[in-house]
């Protein structure tokens, strides 16, 4: 008994000592989470001695408000989309990050100029990658799929479709599939008629949709043969296709590009360590290293020369990025302001639409 | 207690005293009171635990469903302006001045998003009005009404002012109204929401209907199994019992995922049917990600909750009753209907109620296998708790569900009697 007491006291003390300096990062799990552990967390702990933990979530933006409001913040850094970063910053849920204090690029460019346009848009966030929502299909089940219109063409390409269970990206893609050019999508979506048109287009495939929530699901649905085509995060499909040799093909037509950014929830007990982590992880080299594990583009210009081959040392990562010239012919940049303002409302509308028959 | 209740062995009426002169009755009372206090102290931790972990959170949840401070605590000036106004009054320049002051403050404190979110609950599409106006609020000049109209003409929309008025009250019924697909019109009367937003009433009915159906399916499947368990010799019965308990002890997620593997389009069940030539390859049964998926998986998961109470009741029914009935000339059907079945009612009631109430609150399984048509009201509660973060709405939905279950419990008590229930 006495031994047990001493032991447990000792353990508790160790626990407290450790909690003085540590970082818990919440990200999206799967292949993307692995890339961050390899490129950010491990080097960060090696360089600073601060232990770092990775936690998975379907969307790390959602637990933040609950944590901050309950006064029980258990996450020190979260990886979120741009519109969510702006929305949460608007609602006072995030710590402000001093962008000027971020390290210079490897080539000596000051941080404020080194990041690509929009990457430092929110004063509460620092971007790490450019990713995109694309759709992909199984080449053994169907072929010749070229455009978003084909995704919605059940007569020509029969079979189930996978879509993310949410309004974001689905509405834009529905409009583009309906013939709206990328440049006009958000102007149209701002109107009631545009939203109605998007839902009407979604209606045409509603009964054939399998809804996914976690980023790791779509490659699984394709591999299981549950769907013949699915929207997905481009990196997940790349990893399944190149990393695991699955017969998947990405269609870049109508891709929707977005940033993922690091934010720090307000009231985290490890604010200093969190700031150190964000500064380290968004440095030139870690961002470039990240691209070795998954096909997401680094948010710093100075990282580009360091982006080389996939971890198999054969595949060139350049052409796999959402920002590669060949992939940009009909691409849409996610309108963060639109979604920051209208996410709540359109999510509820989407939900009603999903549940009504 | 125990000694005082005993008759005092026929002694004379003189009152008994203890060695130190106290009345025996008083001394005994004192001891028994001490014992009561000790007993109470022993229960106290549990009582405190229940209060802290059960009563308080539920009370807080119920409070949240009528009280949401996101608007009135962040918009003090406008709340003050609303305080002495009739519902549906036209906003004057004073109102817009208060609005400008509040929004300037909200922009500094980063609360405009919360304010907009709160109004957006009642008037979908209005959140952006607040966030965009807050960004410009500092540079606004009087007359403020015109300045706001210049930002967006929706600022004079009577519906917006009605929604703000409703949100400025400390206590509101709007979340309960929304939870039954109703809302307040600009003049304060209650109307139905637009057709494409009506989902909750339908979901409540679906939840109750599916839960009832699952309870009935569990009864149909569980009754013979429980009967078999109760009548087999002990050795065989224990072996069978393990077959019932093993899945019961297995993680819920594992069991749900197992059903996904078996029933999905490319799953085991469909593959067997296709290989036997019963269904065509391109015409497989859709048993997963819809209502069927929810029903099958939930019935399987909840089955032990039906079998166990039934079994414990059936074990106590002496087989001699049935034999007596048969010897008096009853057919086997009559014996079952008039002798055996009535005696299992406590088990059926307990199992049915248990399965039904558990099913009403089920959420992980329908979320995983229910697709869109198999979603229950608890999935909406989870959505509002985790995704939309509209906790007041989640609380209102949960409170209605709680009330519905309590009503059903009361009905059960009236019809069958809760004393009749036997849980095991």
Axis crossing angle, helix B127-136 with helix B144-151, rounded to the nearest 10:
120
Residues A335, A225 within the same domain: yes
Burial grade of A104 (CB within 10 A; 0-12, 13-18, 19 or more): middle
Q: Which element (helix H / strand E) includes A231?
A: strand A229-233
Residues A75 and A200 grouped into a single domain: no
Q: Which residue has the tokens 């679906």?
A: B206
Q: What pLDDT digit, counting tens, does each position of B64-94 carry? A: 999 888 899 899 999 999 988 887 788 888 8
Report the gap between the CA of A221 and the closest CA in chain B (Å): 10
Of A21, A101, A52, which is closest to residue A269 (Cα–Cα)? Answer: A21
Provide CB contacts within 8 A for A310, sequence distance 6+.
A242, A243, A292, A293, A295, A316, A317, A320
Contact in structure between A61 and A84 (CB atoms under 8 Å): yes
Report mean pLDDT in 10-residue bins for chain A, 357 residues: 52 49 92 93 94 92 87 93 87 90 89 88 91 94 91 93 93 95 92 94 92 90 91 94 92 93 94 94 92 91 86 84 87 87 83 81
Partners of A212 in the β-ladder: A164
Chain A residues with CB-CB distance to B383 below 8 A: 351
Cα Rg, chain B, nearest whole Å? 32
B386 and A348 within 8 Å at the Cβ level: the answer is: no
Measured between alpha carbons, how far is A260 from A79 in angstroms, rounded to an integer?
A: 6
Domains, chain B: 76-197 (no CATH), 200-420 (1.10.3720.10)
* Token code pair at residue B362: 């089920």
**Do A178 and A144 share a structural domain?**
yes
Confidence of residue B189 (pLDDT cuts 50, 70, 90): confident
pLDDT band at B420 (very low <50, low <70, confident <90, very high): low
Q: Does the predicted interface ipTM exceed a cut of 0.90? A: no
Q: Report the residue of chain A nearest B70, measured CA to CA.
A: A91
Residue B7 has pLDDT above 60, yes or no: no
Tell me the H-state helices in B51-122: 56-64, 76-83, 93-109, 112-122
**In chain A, where does DSSP find H-type helix?**
2-20, 30-36, 42-48, 61-70, 82-90, 111-114, 148-151, 170-177, 185-189, 192-203, 217-224, 234-238, 271-281, 284-290, 336-355
- Mark yes or no for CB contact B109/A340 under 8 Å: no
Same domain, A247 and A209: yes
Nearest to B388 among A224, A340, A344 (CB): A344
pLDDT for residue A255: 94
One domain, residues A170 and A266: no
Q: Are residues B166 and B174 in contact, defined by beta-carbon separation less than 8 angstroms?
A: yes
Nearest CA distance, B301 vs chain A (angstrom): 23
Question: Tell me, what's the pLDDT at A16?
Answer: 47
User: What are the chain B neighbours of A66 within 8 Å (beta carbons)?
Assistant: 385-386, 389
Structure tokens, A309:
């081959």
Same domain membership, residue A53 and residue A30: yes
pLDDT on residue A17? 45
Cis peptide before A83 (omega within 30 of 0): no
pLDDT for the residue A107: 86
**For B193, which residue in chain A has the nearest alpha carbon?**
A352
Q: Which of B109, B110, B285 to mutate to test the interface with A (most CBs of A within 10 A)?
A: B110
CB-nearest partner of A225 from B131, B266, B373 = B266
Counting the structural domains of chain A, the total is: 2
A140 vs B: CB within 8 A:
no
Specify the pTM. Answer: 0.79
* B 113-132: CB under 8 A from A: 113-114, 117, 120, 124-125, 127-128, 131-132
Judged by CB atoms closer than 8 Å, whether chains meet at B113 and A90 is answered as: yes
Q: Token pair 């032991």 is at which residue?
A: A7
pLDDT digits (tens, 9 = 90+) for A65-91: 888 988 899 999 999 998 889 888 888
Reported confidence tier of residue B4, pLDDT bands at 50, 70, 90: very low
Angle between helix B200-231 and helix B291-315 axes, rounded to 10 deg? 40
Could you tell me if B57 and B384 are in contact, meaning their C-beta atoms sit under 8 angstroms apart?
no
Contact B125 A345 (CB under 8 A): yes
Q: Are residues A220 and A72 in the same domain?
A: no
- Can you give the CATH number for the domain in which A160 is found? 3.40.190.10
pLDDT digits (tens, 9 = 90+) for B309-321: 999 999 999 989 9
- List, as ranges, residues 253-312 from B with C-beta within 8 Å of A: 264-266, 282, 289
Given a contact cutoff of 8 angstroms between Cβ atoms, the answer to whether B379 and B110 are in contact is no
Q: Does A65 touch chain B (CB under 8 A)?
A: yes
- pLDDT at position A14 is 47
Over residues B33-61, the pLDDT tens digits come to 999 999 999 999 999 999 999 999 889 88
Q: Say if residues B81 and B98 touch (Cβ distance below 8 Å).
A: yes
- DSSP H or E stretch at residue A52: strand A52-56
- Is A29 in the B-facing interface, judged by CB distances under 8 Å? no
Domain ranges, residue A349: 132-257+327-355
The whole-angstrom distance between A127's CA and the closest CA on chain B is: 21
- pLDDT of B149 over the 80 cut: yes
The answer to whether B392 and B68 have CB atoms below 8 angstroms apart is yes
Residue B175 vs residue B18, higher pLDDT: B175
- Shared domain for A237 and A301, answered yes or no, is no
pLDDT tens digits for range B283-306: 888 888 889 999 999 999 999 999
Q: What is the DSSP letter of A299?
A: S
C-alpha to C-alpha distance for B299 and B91, rounded to whole angstroms:
56
* CB of B319 closer than 8 Å to CB of B233: no
Closest CA to A68 of A1, A124, A134, A113: A124
Q: Is residue A15 in a domain?
A: no
Q: Are residues A223 and A345 in the same domain?
A: yes
Nearest Cα of chain B lies from the Cα of A314 at a distance, in angstroms, of 34
**Residue A7 located in a structural domain:** no
Q: What percent of chain B has pLDDT over 70?
A: 96
What gap in Å lies between CA B182 and CA B166, rounded to an integer? 14
Pairwise CB contact (< 8 Å): B113 & A87: yes
């Amino acid at each position: 008994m006495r031994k047990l007491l001493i032991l447990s006291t000792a353990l508790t003390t160790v626990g407290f000592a450790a909690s003085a300096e540590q970082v818990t990062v919440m990200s999206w799990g799967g292949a993307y989470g692995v890339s961050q552990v390899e490129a950010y967390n491990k080097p960060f702990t090696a360089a600073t001695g601060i232990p770092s933990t990775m936690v998975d979530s379907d969307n790390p933006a959602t637990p933040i408000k609950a944590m901050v409001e309950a006064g029980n913040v258990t996450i020190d850094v979260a990886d979120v989309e741009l519109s969510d970063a702006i929305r949460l910053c608007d609602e006072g849920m995030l710590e402000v990050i001093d962008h000027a204090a971020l390290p210079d690029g490897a080539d000596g460019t000051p941080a404020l100029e080194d990041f690509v346009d929009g990457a430092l848009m929110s004063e509460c966030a620092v971007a790490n990658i450019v990713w995109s929502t694309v759709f992909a299909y199984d080449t053994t089940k169907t072929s010749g799929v070229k455009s978003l219109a084909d995704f919605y063409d059940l007569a020509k390409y029969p079979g189930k479709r996978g879509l993310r269970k949410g309004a974001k990206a689905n509405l834009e893609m529905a409009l583009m599939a309906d013939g709206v050019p990328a440049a006009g999508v958000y102007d149209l979506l701002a109107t009631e008629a545009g939203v109605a048109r998007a839902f009407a287009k979604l209606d045409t495939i509603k009964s054939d949709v399998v809804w996914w929530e976690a980023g790791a699901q779509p490659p699984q649905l394709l591999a299981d043969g549950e769907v013949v085509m699915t929207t997905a995060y481009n990196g997940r499909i790349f990893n399944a296709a190149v990393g695991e040799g699955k017969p998947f093909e990405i269609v870049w037509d109508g891709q929707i590009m977005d940033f993922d950014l690091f934010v720090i929830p307000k009231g985290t007990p490890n604010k200093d360590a969190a700031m150190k982590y964000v500064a380290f992880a968004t440095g030139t080299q870690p961002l470039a290293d990240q691209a070795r594990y998954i096909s997401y583009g680094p948010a710093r210009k100075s990282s580009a020369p360091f982006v080389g081959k996939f971890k198999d040392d054969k595949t060139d990562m350049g052409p796999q990025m959402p920002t590669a010239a060949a992939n940009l012919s009909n691409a849409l940049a996610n309108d963060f302001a639109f979604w920051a303002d209208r996410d709540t409302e359109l999510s509820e509308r989407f939900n009603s639409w999903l549940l009504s028959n | 207690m125990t000694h005082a209740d005993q008759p005092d062995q026929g002694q004379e009426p003189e009152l008994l005293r203890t060695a130190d002169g106290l009345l025996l009755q008083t001394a005994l009372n004192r001891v028994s009171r001490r014992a009561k206090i000790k007993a109470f102290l022993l229960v106290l931790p549990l009582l405190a635990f229940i209060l802290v972990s059960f009563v308080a959170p539920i009370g807080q949840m119920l409070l949240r469903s009528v009280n949401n401070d996101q608007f009135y605590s962040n918009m003090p000036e406008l709340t003050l302006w609303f305080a002495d106004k009739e519902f549906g009054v036209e906003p004057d320049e004073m109102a817009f001045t208060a609005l400008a002051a509040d929004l300037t403050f909200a922009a500094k404190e980063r609360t405009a998003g919360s304010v907009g979110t709160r109004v957006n609950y009642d008037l979908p599409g209005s959140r952006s009005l607040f966030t965009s106006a807050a960004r410009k609020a500092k540079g606004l000049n009087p007359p403020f009404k015109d300045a706001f109209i210049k930002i967006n003409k929706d600022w004079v929309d009577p519906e917006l002012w009605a929604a703000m008025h409703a949100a400025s009250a400390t206590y509101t019924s709007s979340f309960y109204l929304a939870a039954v697909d109703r809302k307040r019109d600009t003049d304060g009367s209650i109307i139905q929401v637009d057709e494409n937003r009506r989902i909750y009433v339908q979901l409540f009915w679906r939840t109750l209907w599916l839960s009832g159906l699952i309870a009935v399916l569990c009864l149909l499947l569980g009754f013979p199994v429980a009967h078999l368990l109760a009548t087999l010799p002990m050795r065989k019965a224990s072996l069978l019992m393990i077959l019932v308990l093993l899945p019961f002890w297995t993680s819920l997620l594992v069991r749900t995922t197992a059903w996904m593997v078996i029933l999905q389009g490319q799953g085991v069940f469909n593959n067997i049917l296709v290989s036997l030539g019963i269904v065509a390859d391109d015409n497989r049964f859709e048993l997963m990600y819809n209502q069927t998926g929810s029903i099958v998986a939930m019935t399987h998961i909840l089955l032990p909750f039906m079998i166990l109470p039934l079994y414990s009741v059936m074990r106590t029914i002496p087989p001699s009753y049935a034999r007596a009935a048969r010897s008096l000339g009853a057919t086997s059907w009559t014996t079952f209907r008039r002798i055996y079945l009535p005696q299992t009612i406590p088990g059926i009631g307990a199992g049915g109620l248990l399965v039904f109430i558990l099913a009403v609150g089920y959420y992980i399984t329908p979320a995983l296998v229910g697709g869109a048509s198999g979603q229950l009201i608890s999935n909406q509660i989870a959505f509002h708790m985790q995704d939309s973060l509209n906790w007041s709405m989640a609380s209102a939905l949960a409170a209605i569900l709680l009330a519905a279950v309590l009503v059903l419990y009361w009905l059960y008590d009236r019809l069958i009697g809760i004393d009749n229930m036997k849980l095991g």
